[in-house]
Amino acid sequence: MSEERLAQARAWLRQDPDHETRDELAGLITRASGGDEAAVAELDDRFGARLAFGTAGLRGELGAGSNRMNRVLVAQAAAGFAAYLSERAHGATPTVVIGYDGRRNSRVFATDSAEIFAGAGLRAILLPRLLPTPVLAFAVRHFGADAGVMVTASHNPPNDNGYKVYLGGDDQGSQIVAPADAEIAAQIQRVADTLRVPALPRSTAYEIAPEAVVDAYVAATAAVAPAPAGADGLRWVYTAMHGVGWETLSRILTTAGYPQPAVVDQQLRPDARFRTVSFPNPEEPGAMDLAFARARRAKADFILANDPDADRLAVAIPDESAADGWRRLTGNEVGLLLGARAARAAEGTPGASLACSLVSSPGLSAVAAHHGLDFHETLTGFKWISRAPGIVFGFEEALGYLVNPETVRDKDGISAAVAILGLAAEARDRGLGLADLLSELGDTYGHFASGQVSVRVEDLSIIGTVMLSLRSLPPAHIGTQSIAVAEDLLQAAPGQPAGDVLRYRLADGSRVIVRPSGTEPKLKVYIDAKADSAEGARDVVAALEAGVRVLLEERS
């Protein structure tokens, strides 16, 4: 064990205000000093790097150390962000709103941040209790704030937490993008290098936001799709996935005039342990099993599920061909349903546009063209989608939907749920269900299908190895389909989005995109196809999925 690493750990220990992580780190230091190899490796992992502040803010595993989420790291982040906002304000007093969800330490991290913001001379407003991420994004605009911070790790594993940052003003409450991320990171590093956490000025003179801000979000979201005539007979199931969505959604349902759903009781209230799921993400296998069982008992027409901070939405429908009788719609299917809804409403509006990330279905472009709207393809992430000019709707295939851009410039799983309820009620009035609406989409805009191959890794270097191999020796085909055009978005043309993304356009018109996940240790491959029928498009995707798996096995 190097003396330098031990010195780092001891210096961290001396400024840690959290007795739990202090005790944890003290034990590690003692064991590592005695030659315990596991403790030595653990200290190297915790202090060999610093959890990077990027365009998603901070996100990582809870624990002591610079490479973990903890009170020291959060205090440094809050002080650095406060310095950035003060410098940007040119003498004015910046306002920052802070929200938090039900994860471990979320409330503590949010309170620490409020005290440090107030201590730095900012006007700090702490939301009144744990609330969904979309409420915080809404509050930034509601208060005319300069910035917002949401303490959440969204759908990450139970022992993770995070620190998501928004900017007001010209940024309209969107998540940060470059160069703000690098400028904030530099201020955080300055704080970490020159100041100790106990020396940071703190103040309890922060404000607690009134309930009126939640009331305003409820009213604005209920107005997304007030209940039409067919709403009374809707039979549906809801799960909050152990998160914070239910209280707010339930109020909105009453305000908008929708019936309350049958609920998954075991997952309805916030639970930081997420005890019924391996990963609290509706996309993960098994996460919606309890919802499927509840829906069978209730003879429901569909299921809606939020992720733990309620910024994403999953939709499932009955499917006799599925083993458990239910099928979760892909994010692309839901995105096209909601995109067509928005396009019909915006048709004829000058400058109105639809937007999606480059890994999401090209079907949204067809929807926009059909209705005479503009279309924008962006890099992954709502920090980019929300900035599309003239946006009336945006989505990303990872279950994120922006349906109410005038009030929330971020994905919002609650307003998306209300919009789906509106579509379901209107369909029911015509004697149809959500599956019928999907068929109508194909008949109107063309039959699109999508698939995904996702590889979770323990060693992040594997992802870099695969990406390097694909760049160094580009494949000539995927499965039986030859590659017509290979694009490396690290070397994008001027005016085009740039990122660590490889895009392959195949001879039959299909598309395959490879990229590392921005929030999880995964390599993701996205597959899109269009055919004369829904079944034909699905067959193309299935064949390409098999080809992708062979390719990744060869390159890893």
Q: Structural domain boundaries of the chain?
A: 1-48, 54-209, 211-445, 447-555
- C-alpha Rg value of the chain to the nearest Å: 24
C-alpha closest to that of 273 among 298, 251, 242: 242
Residue 368 CB burial class (10 angstroms; 0-12, 13-18, ≥19): buried
Helices (H), 34-100: 37-47, 71-89
Cα 7 to Cα 12: distance, rounded to the nearest angstrom: 9
When pLDDT is averaged across residues 513-536 and rounded to a whole number, the result is 91
Specify whether 278 is catalytic. no
Q: What is the pLDDT of residue 495?
A: 62
pLDDT at 498 over 80: no
Taking 90 as the threshold, does the pLDDT of residue 218 lie above it? Answer: yes
At residue 274, the pLDDT reads: 97
Q: Which of 109-118, 127-136, 200-209, 481-490 has the lowest mean pLDDT?
A: 481-490
Q: How far apart are CA 399 and CA 310, in angstroms?
A: 11
Tell me, which fold does domain 211-445 have in CATH?
Alpha-D-Glucose-1,6-Bisphosphate; Chain A, domain 3 (3.40.120)
Which residue of the set 86, 106, 154, 415 is catalytic? 154
Which CATH number among 3.30.310.50, 3.60.9.10, 3.40.80.10, 3.50.50.100 corresponds to the domain 447-555? Answer: 3.30.310.50
Distance CA 416, CA 148 (A): 22
pLDDT at 517: 85
- Beta-strand pair 123-126/207-208: parallel
Q: What is the mean pLDDT of residues 525-549?
A: 95
Residue 1 has what pLDDT? 59
Calculate mean pLDDT across residues 422-431: 96
Residue 230: its pLDDT value, please? 80
Residue 493 has pLDDT above 90, yes or no: no
Per-residue pLDDT tens over the stretch 362-420: 999 999 999 999 999 998 899 999 999 999 999 999 999 999 999 999 999 999 999 99
Q: Which secondary-structure segment (H or E) carries 9?
A: helix 3-15
pLDDT of res. 470: 95
Residue 555: is its pLDDT beyond 90? no
Predicted local distance difference test score (pLDDT) of residue 497? 60
What's the confidence (pLDDT) of residue 496? 64
Predicted confidence at residue 499, as pLDDT, reads 83
Query: DSSP for 320-340?
Result: TTSTTSEEEPPHHHHHHHHHH
Nearest to 102 by CA among 311, 273, 251, 282: 273
Structure confidence at residue 101 as a pLDDT band (50, 70, 90): very high
Q: Can you give the pLDDT at residue 542?
A: 96
pLDDT in tens, 465-480: 999 999 999 999 999 9
pLDDT at 76: 98
Asked if the domains 211-445 and 447-555 are classified in one and the same CATH topology, the answer is no
Look at residue 448 and tell me whether its pLDDT is greater than 90.
Answer: yes
Q: What is the pLDDT of residue 2?
A: 84
**Contact of 478 with 324, CB cutoff 8 Å:** no
CATH, domain 54-209, list 3.40.50.720, 3.40.120.10, 3.40.50.11930, 2.60.40.420: 3.40.120.10
* pTM of the model as a whole: 0.94
Report residue 103's pLDDT band, with 50, 70 and 90 as the boundaries.
very high
